[in-house]
Amino acid sequence: MRTMLLVVGAVAAILIIALFIMMSSAGTIPYVVTGKIDGIEYRHYPELVLATVDSSDDNAGFSLLLAYISGSNRPKEKIPMTAPVISSQKIPMTAPVVSDAGTMSFVMPAGTTRDETPDPTDSRVRIAVVPERDIAVLRFSGYAPPEDVEKETARLLEGLTSEGVVTADQPFLMRYDTPWTPGFLRRNEVAVEIHR
């Protein structure tokens, strides 16, 4: 029995180490932390190039974007995966209820310009440039079901309001981990562009 527990423990440790290695293999988009207040982090991001799809279904959106970076583009090039995957939902300003309309985006590798980004072969994938900007972020773990995203978004917006920080555009979700990463190891962030 003791041998069986040791084997199970060793296998679990190996799986956790493998997960950390896989999680660290995707590059993360660069940013500069410009401040922190009550769990909210303020960041400055450089200009980013995004591959984006309109999709109410995360799986469908992810599949289209994965195909794009896997070679479904004009030169049939593979594009390195970066983190986070960005999802935005239309959120009514009167309540933090996430509707089913939204987008999913993959960020192109750091330093990539629009001219260097391959054009998609699928018209459902579009390439967009997001100018440099400041955002406010609130981090949380788990699988990021809509109710958790709604709750964390409400916390973020309430915290910014209490600090007198002006927001711009709609909040969005950033997910950093592979689909098979256990919930307690997942890094998720709700974010919104700000003016300070």
170, 91 Cβ separation under 8 angstroms: yes
**Token code pair at residue 61:** 């959106």
Range of the domain at 136: 2-195
190, 137 Cβ separation under 8 angstroms: yes
| For residue 118, cis peptide bond before it (omega within 30 degrees of 0) | no
Q: DSSP readout, 136-179?
A: EEEEE-S---HHHHHHHHHHHHHHHHHTTPEEEEEEEEEE-S-T
Report whether pLDDT(126) > 90: yes
Single-letter code of the amino acid located at 2:
R
Domain CATH number, residue 72: 3.20.80.10
Structural domains counted in the chain:
1
Report whether pLDDT(23) > 60: no
109, 30 Cβ separation under 8 angstroms: no
- Section 26-50 average pLDDT: 93
With bands split at pLDDT 50, 70 and 90, how would you rate the model's confidence at 26? low
pLDDT (tens digit per residue) in 53-75: 998 788 889 999 999 999 999 99
